[in-house]
Amino acid sequence: MERILMTLLCISACVWCDEFCGGADYDPAVAMCCNETITTPVPNNPRCCGSEAVDVSFYMCCLDHVNIRPCGEPDCCINNAFDKTTHMCCNGKIRSRPSTNSRCCQTSAINADHFLCCDGIVLTRITEFDRCCGESAFDPDTGICCFGTVHFIPDGVSKDNYKCCQQTAFDSSVHKCCHGETYVKASHMCCDGVVIATPPDNKCPEI
């Protein structure tokens, strides 16, 4: 009778403490279930990484890939770990930080104080004010960007008067823009998208 009672107690204990992992029962006191796989737990700070158990004090999990935990500020770059204080993730590639003002340009890391990234192309800065215009760089004090095309401001033309007419540029003190076409505003006018010589009454003809 005593043997039967002991057996019932053991069965009862297993029912209360056992759980299922991948269709099999296991004791969470002595094992871990990681991605439906029973695995041996690790000490201290156990976490699952895919089907493995890792100590997150020393390892980190990046998309189910186990990595040694870096010093500094750990982060993931797809499935690899890196330290954000010394490196950066540029489109899935780990790169060394070239400066405190670092930027990604496609898969490259650049010093933004000396370089620009224009449509994925690395360009050298000529001045600190340089900006991108398509795949080119320009200084806004000496040029303007018109739909990806750089136009340098001609001598004698005010920067404030130099404007874009779609991809072309013009001096707005002398010209105007009419649907992508520039014209001399003193002698011509824009009527329904067409440049015509200004009539005596200074009005567009009625159609």
pLDDT digits (tens, 9 = 90+) for 84-130: 999 999 999 999 999 999 999 999 999 999 999 999 999 999 999 99
Distance of CA 114 to the CA centre of its chain: 20
Residue pLDDT, tens place only, 34-89:
999 999 989 889 999 999 999 999 999 999 999 999 999 999 999 999 999 999 99
Q: SS3 for 14?
A: helix
Q: What are the sequence ranges of the domains in the chain?
A: 25-69, 72-113
CA 107 to chain centre: 11
Q: Which helix (H) or strand (E) holds 47?
A: strand 46-49
Mean pLDDT of the chain: 91
